Amino acid sequence: MSNTLIRSLTISAITSTVATAIAVYTLNNTSSAELAILGVLFFASTIITALVVTNNKTKTTSQTDQPSPSYINKSRETGVVKWFNTNKGFGFITRDNGDDVFVHFRSIRGQGHRTLIEGQRVEFNISTGEKGLQAEDVASAS
């Protein structure tokens, strides 16, 4: 179980116990069977609320994941790194057809510090970014 669910269930249990105790204090002429039913109803409603809230948080998190980009052509292209500014995290790749394409460090395969070296041969997909064509899923050419 996730920490959020455990936390929600704990809060639900405490809330239902406190609500039942308040009901017992204010309704001291009520039978114990009625109080037991009241306690179960409080507990059930708070558990249902906790589960709904936890489930909605999970859906919201997965919906914010970025969708995979739609590539202009499905085949990978090759080119040479024209320049790449490591400090700014972007540069340009010259495609084999001679056109230059923007590349951002997030589009480079790998984890951690991702960079390209001038003159490095790479393969990539092309997508349309905010300012035009952009290289995606960039990797060293084999």
> pLDDT tens digits for the chain (142 residues)?
567 777 777 777 777 777 777 777 776 666 777 777 777 777 777 777 777 776 655 554 444 444 455 666 677 999 999 999 999 999 999 999 999 999 999 999 988 888 999 999 999 999 988 888 999 999 998 7
Which conformational region is residue 25 in: left (phi greater than 0), alpha (psi within -120 to 50 degrees), or beta? alpha
Shared domain check, 57 and 83: no
Shared domain check, 50 and 84: no
pTM of the model: 0.50
Count of CB atoms situated within 10 Å of the CB of 90? 17
Query: Of 14, 39, 63, which marks where a domain is finished?
Result: 63
The residue range of the domain holding 85 is: 77-140
Shared domain check, 120 and 87: yes
Residue 68 maps to a domain: no
